């Protein structure tokens, strides 16, 4: 690869001048600019962004940490973030945290070491203290789907509590009274909040929770299958099932089919997230919409505004979930 030095030689100017035309920071005489551009073209020159990054302490790249690379949820999130930054001429570097504190820290450190200008984090395992300290280092970052009081201005969240409430409230309004709940792992903030919402709805309707109708799943499809079977075996009957995400709802539906139950006639099922396959299920899944794309976009804009001083004004921190009624209830 050609270097800036070769370009400067060919164009008969100094390195500094070439650098100026690349970044157009300082005006350069038209004639000079043309010479330089010609030289760059002739050599097929492309700036080495590693060197740029080292010299300028700016990398034009944004680090992203998500739990998993796969899956409909993260896929959509990443996709949207990437689009937003691409349009702004920035690039993303993605790392997976696998919901594990060490790996999350690792990924964050890796991205810091790569000189990312900012980070977008969807981390679940590291504690609030770590994040607070990280903020204190001066590294700009946004936190998605998690509220940490000490760095509240960096958090972009969904009102999960409200979402959990909506799901159960809807079942209650439909007349169901025996409502089972399959939760996500309760150490995860969002799982806990959704579950709280579920409980609030029950309370609001003057019902008390029946612990026998609760199951703590893993946010995966198998969790839904296991949860459903566990709840059925347990003896208490229920006419409605609220799942803390769509994957588990899908698993539960499969298990229900296998048990020969009709949905929604015998059991109504609702999910959470509204991920893109939720209408592939049969019957199509009623769910709570998680506006992933919007949240991804907002996170990107936060960075564009705070770090790159782009004029953006409608930053929004808390998103509201919406009920999406389809055929499973």
Partner DNA sequence: GCTATAAATGAAAGCGCTTTCATAATAGGC
Partner DNA sequence: GCCTATTATGAAAGCGCTTTCATTTATAGC
Residues binding a second copy (CB under 8 A): 1, 46-51, 53-54, 59, 61, 68-72, 74-76, 78-79, 82, 86, 91-96, 103, 109-110, 112-115, 250, 254, 277, 279-282
Nearest residue (CB) to a second copy, 5 versus 282: 282
Q: Which residues between 23 and 42 bind DNA (CB under 7 A)?
A: 23, 25-29, 31-32
Binding test (CB under 7 A) with DNA, winner from 10, 19, 134, 143:
19
Nearest residue (CB) to a second copy, 64 versus 231: 64
Nearest residue (CB) to DNA, 30 versus 265: 30
Runs of H (alpha helix) within the chain:
4-11, 15-23, 30-43, 49-56, 72-87, 101-113, 128-136, 160-173, 189-204, 221-233, 246-258, 292-306
Nearest residue (CB) to a second copy, 199 versus 328: 328
Contacts of 141 (CB under 8 A, 6+ apart): 118, 119, 120, 121, 134, 135, 154
Neighbours of 116 (CB within 10 A): 27
For position 211 contacting DNA by CB under 7 A, the verdict is no
Query: Minimum CB separation from a second copy for residue 61, in Å?
Result: 8
Binding test (CB under 7 A) with DNA, winner from 20, 162, 176, 301:
20
Q: Which residues between 230 and 289 bind DNA (CB under 7 A)?
A: none
Binding test (CB under 7 A) with DNA, winner from 9, 37, 43, 58:
58
- CA 281 to mean position of chain CA atoms: 23
Nearest residue (CB) to DNA, 56 versus 132: 56
How distant, in Å, are the alpha carbons of 103, 116, 149, 187 from that of 129? 17, 22, 11, 16
Nearest residue (CB) to a second copy, 203 versus 276: 276
Nearest to 133 by CA among 117, 111, 99, 109: 109
**Rounded Cα–Cα distance for residues 314 and 293 (Å):** 16
Pairing between strand 155-158 and 179-183? unpaired
The residues that touch DNA, with contacts defined as CB under 7 A, are 1, 3-5, 12-20, 22-23, 25-29, 31-32, 45-48, 51-52, 54-58
């Amino acid at each position: 690869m050609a270097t800036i030095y070769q370009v400067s030689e060919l164009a008969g100017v100094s390195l500094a001048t070439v650098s100026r035309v690349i970044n157009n920071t300082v005006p350069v005489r038209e004639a000079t600019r043309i010479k330089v551009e010609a030289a760059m073209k002739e050599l097929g020159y492309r700036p080495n962004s590693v060197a740029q990054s080292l010299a300028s302490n700016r990398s034009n790249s944004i680090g992203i940490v998500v739990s998993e690379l796969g899956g409909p949820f993260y896929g959509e999130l990443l996709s949207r973030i990437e689009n937003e930054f691409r349009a702004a001429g920035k690039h993303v570097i993605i790392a997976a945290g696998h919901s594990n504190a060490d790996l999350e820290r690792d990924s964050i450190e890796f991205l810091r070491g790569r000189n990312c200008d900012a980070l977008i984090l969807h981390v679940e395992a590291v504690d609030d203290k770590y994040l607070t300290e990280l903020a204190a280092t001066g590294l700009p970052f946004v936190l998605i789907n998690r509220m940490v009081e000490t760095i509240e201005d960096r958090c972009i969240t969904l009102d999960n509590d409200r979402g959990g409430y909506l799901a159960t409230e809807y079942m209650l309004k439909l007349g169901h009274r025996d409502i089972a709940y399959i939760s996500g792992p309760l150490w995860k903030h969002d799982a806990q909040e959704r579950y709280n919402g579920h409980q609030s709805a029950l309370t609001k309707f003057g019902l008390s929770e029946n612990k026998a109708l609760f199951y703590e799943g893993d946010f995966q499809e198998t969790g839904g299958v296991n949860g459903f079977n566990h709840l059925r075996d347990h003896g208490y009957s229920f006419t409605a099932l609220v799942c803390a995400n769509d994957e588990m709802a899908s698993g539960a539906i499969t298990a229900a089919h296998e048990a020969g139950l009709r949905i929604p006639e015998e059991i109504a099922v609702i999910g959470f997230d509204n991920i893109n396959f939720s209408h592939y299920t049969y019957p199509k899944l009623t769910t709570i919409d998680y506006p992933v794309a919007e949240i991804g976009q907002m996170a990107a804009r936060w960075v564009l505004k705070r770090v790159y001083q782009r004029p953006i004004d409608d930053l929004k921190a808390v998103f509201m979930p919406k009920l999406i009624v389809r055929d499973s209830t």
